[in-house]
Amino acid sequence: MKRKKRSKEVVTDIKYVHEVRVRFNDCDPLSIVWHGIYITYFEEGREAFGRTHGISYLHVKDNNYVTPIVNSNCDHKLPLKYGDIATVETIYVDSPAAKMIFRYKVFNQNKELVCVGETTQVFLDMEGNMSLSIPEFFLNWKRKVGLL
C-alpha cells in the first residue's frame, strides 16, 4: 500500500549531509546496528542540519520553544555493521502547519541506501502548550532560507 503524499508539504533542497561512524555500542551481538539506533542517527543528522542552517535546538530554546517528536518512521533496506561509516542525508520538508518535518536517507560507505525515514516535530511553549500557529522566529527562519 502506498502512502498518500501530504498535499501541502513540499520537499525542499535545504539539506545537510553528516557522517556517522558506527560505534560498538550501536550494535547487537552479531555486530549489526540495532534497528532502534537509526533514530539516533536521524537525530544526529537533524542536529547537524540545525547548526548549519540556523535552526538548532538551542536556537529554538532561546526563542522559548521546544520541538518534541510526535511521529517517526524508519524503513530498513540494508544493515550497517560495527566500524562502518554511514552518511545521513537530512532534508527539510516545508509545511504550512506549525511543525517541522525532516526526511532522512542513510547510506553506507559504498553509497548504498541503508534506510529511509521521517520525523515530525511540533512546537511547544515552555509551559508545554502546543502552538497552533507557526512561531515568529520560525517564520523568520523560513523567510531567511527563501521558503516564504
CATH number of domain containing 109:
3.10.129.10
pTM metric for this prediction: 0.91
For residue 126, count other CB atoms closer than 10 A to its CB.
9
Average pLDDT along the chain, 148 residues, taken 10 residues at a time: 59 92 95 96 97 95 97 97 97 96 97 98 97 97 93
Q: Is residue 10 in some structural domain?
A: no
The cell for 142 is 523560513
Residue with cell 504550512: 96
Q: Is residue 9 in some structural domain?
A: no
Separation between Cα atoms, residue 118 and residue 19, nearest integer Å: 18
Could you list the residue range(s) of the whole structural domain that residue 110 is in? 15-145
